[in-house]
Structure 1
Amino acid sequence: MSTTTPELEIERTRSPRRIRGTGFVWLLVLPGLALLIAVVLYPLLRSIAMAFFEESLLYPGREFVGLENFTVVLGEDFPQLLWQTLIFTAGATVLPFLIGLALALALDTGIRGRGVMRGMFLFPWLLPSVVVSFLWSWIFDANYGVLNGLLQSLSLIDAPVAWLFDTEAARAGLILAKTWNSFPWIMVMLLAALQTVPSELKEAASIDGAGAIRRFRTVTWPHIAGVTGIVLLLEVIWNFQHFDLIYVMTGGGPAGTTSTLATALYEAAFSAYDLGEAGAIGVLWIILLMAMVVVYVQLSERSEEPS
Structure 2
Amino acid sequence: MMSTASDELMSERAQSPRRIRGTGFAWLLVLPGLAMLVTVVLYPLLRSIVMAFFDESLLYPGREFVGLDNIISVLGNDFPQLLWQTLIFTAGATIFPFLIGLALALALDTGIRGRGAMRGLFLFPWLLPSVVVSFLWSWIFDANYGVLNGLLESLALIDGPVAWLFDTWSARTGLIMAKTWNSFPWIMVMLLAALQTVPSELKEAASIDGAGAIRRFRTVTWPHIAGVTGIVLLLEVIWNFQHFDLIFVMTGGGPAGTTSTLATALYDAAFSSYNLGEAGAIGVLWIILLMAMVVLYVRLSERDEELS
Query: So what's the TM-score if we normalise by structure 2?
Result: 0.93
In structure 1, the partner of 2:174 is 173
Write out aligned runs for 1:278-293 (5 A). 278-293=279-294
Q: Distance in 2 between matches of 1:162 and 1:28?
A: 54
One-letter identity of the residue aligned with 1:60: P
| CA shift digits 1:155-198 (9 cap, x unpaired) | 11111111000000000000000000000000000000000001
Offset of residue 25 of structure 1: 4.5
In structure 2, the partner of 1:88 is 89
| CA shift digits 1:104-134 (9 cap, x unpaired) | 0000000000011101100000000000000
One-letter identity of the residue aligned with 2:128: L
In structure 2, the partner of 1:35 is 36
One-letter identity of the residue aligned with 2:296: V
Write out aligned runs for 1:214-293 (5 A). 214-293=215-294
In structure 1, the partner of 2:18 is 18
In structure 2, the partner of 1:117 is 118
| CA shift digits 1:1-42 (9 cap, x unpaired) | xx9xxxxxxx9xx99953426555444433322221122111
- Please state whether the residue corresponding to 1:305 is helix, strand or coil: helix
In structure 1, the partner of 2:59 is 58
Q: Distance in 2 between matches of 1:170 and 1:15?
A: 67
Offset of residue 71 of structure 1: 1.3
In structure 1, the partner of 2:105 is 104
| CA shift digits 1:71-99 (9 cap, x unpaired) | 11111100000000000000000000000
- Please state whether the residue corresponding to 1:109 is helix, strand or coil: coil
Q: Distance in 2 between matches of 1:125 and 1:18?
A: 47
One-letter identity of the residue aligned with 2:86: T
Q: Distance in 2 between matches of 1:141 and 1:125?
A: 22
CA 58–304 in structure 1, closer or farther in 2 if over 3 Å, else same: same
In structure 2, the partner of 1:6 is none
One-letter identity of the residue aligned with 1:217: R
| CA shift digits 1:31-69 (9 cap, x unpaired) | 322221122111111110000001111111111111111
Offset of residue 220 of structure 1: 0.2
Q: Distance in 2 between matches of 1:86 and 1:176?
A: 16
The yes-or-no answer on 1:47 pairing with 2:48 is yes
CA 15–23 in structure 1, closer or farther in 2 if over 3 Å, else same: closer
Q: Distance in 1 between matches of 2:246 and 2:69?
A: 31
| CA shift digits 1:224-250 (9 cap, x unpaired) | 001000000000000000000000000
In structure 2, the partner of 1:140 is 141
Calculate percent identity across the aligned residue pairs. 87
In structure 1, the partner of 2:196 is 195
One-letter identity of the residue aligned with 2:208: I
One-letter identity of the residue aligned with 2:18: R
| CA RMSD across the alignment | 1.8
Q: Distance in 1 between matches of 2:159 and 2:82?
A: 35
- Please state whether the residue corresponding to 1:106 is helix, strand or coil: helix
- Please state whether the residue corresponding to 1:63 is helix, strand or coil: strand
Q: Distance in 1 between matches of 2:67 and 2:199?
A: 58
Task: Give the paired residue count.
Answer: 296
Write out aligned runs for 1:290-305 (5 A). 290-305=291-306
In structure 2, the partner of 1:8 is none
- Please state whether the residue corresponding to 1:160 is helix, strand or coil: coil
In structure 2, the partner of 1:74 is 75
Unaligned stretches of 5+ in structure 2? 4-10
One-letter identity of the residue aligned with 1:252: G
